Structure 1
């Protein structure tokens, strides 16, 4: 089983054809498949680095704290102290919800494209897998561990697998008849001089001249 990995870089899967694909996947098929994948990424982009989202939540918290402080200075009212915790919790939940929606929309769209490609490529022994942090997203049993061990930066990639058994089967069908069934016939037969003289000696015969009287 041979596999080639193409990572998601700057919201685009690496679509550079490599020499590892030669003999397994043509340039035209590779470009058409990754064109569909990158179109899906452009339509449903991933949420990006989690650190950026954490900084955005922190900025909203600072804005809420600053507004609450200004409200207390001008109005001398302590109602903002009651509203501030709810504001911080609400903004955090909204950011978490938005991040999850974008992530699921992106992952489901890529999985759908991979399933469409595999519907035709599996016949040729080629399989497209969508992985997240090195784990297969199509395997539901691994998604629980991926959520618990997720890092701030998520690494997505497309893994193309090639089944060598298909190549062996196709070559066997192409060479249906084994080589032992064929006999190589030389175009020119080389006969040694001894054999040729022996053969001519056996073919010698006496010639009798017949005279008519």
Structure 2
């Protein structure tokens, strides 16, 4: 009888131990799942934050230096960003002086690097080309010397792709340098309309 009771107790203990072991492994498994889920969520949040930071970065990140002169509170060289306008530069320079002739300045004009902005005083005779002088110089610098340009340089001309650029180079190899802009009509696939788009961006030297 005692032996039977002893065997029952042994089996009960084994069952209890088994249940405890199963519960322990189930708890550990749940903790692993929860931990993995938390890690995944943290990783997703981290990636979203990084993406937000990338999106928040300005597309135009170039820095321009603009020289502001005349009837300005703080004349001098102003550091600003590409895409800003004359109004923004003047604001950074402290604004106009009391007797500034604001009607002589185009506040909506977009700035360019190395631009000079001169704000005259009321009644002052001044050269109004100062504010656009740098822009005109930039346009001149953007022209391509078509007789001495490389394939990649020719492709910078609006309307000129790899095929047209190669045709221009082949024409020069066979016929020599161009002597006039109109002569480009002799190049294969360059017609009058194409030439009209190209003219302001090329120079013959």
TM-score, scaled to structure 2: 0.27
TM-score, scaled to structure 1: 0.26
Q: Relative contact order: is structure 1 or structure 2 higher (C-alpha 8 Å, sep ≥ 6)?
A: 1
Q: In proportion to residue count, which structure has more helix?
A: 1
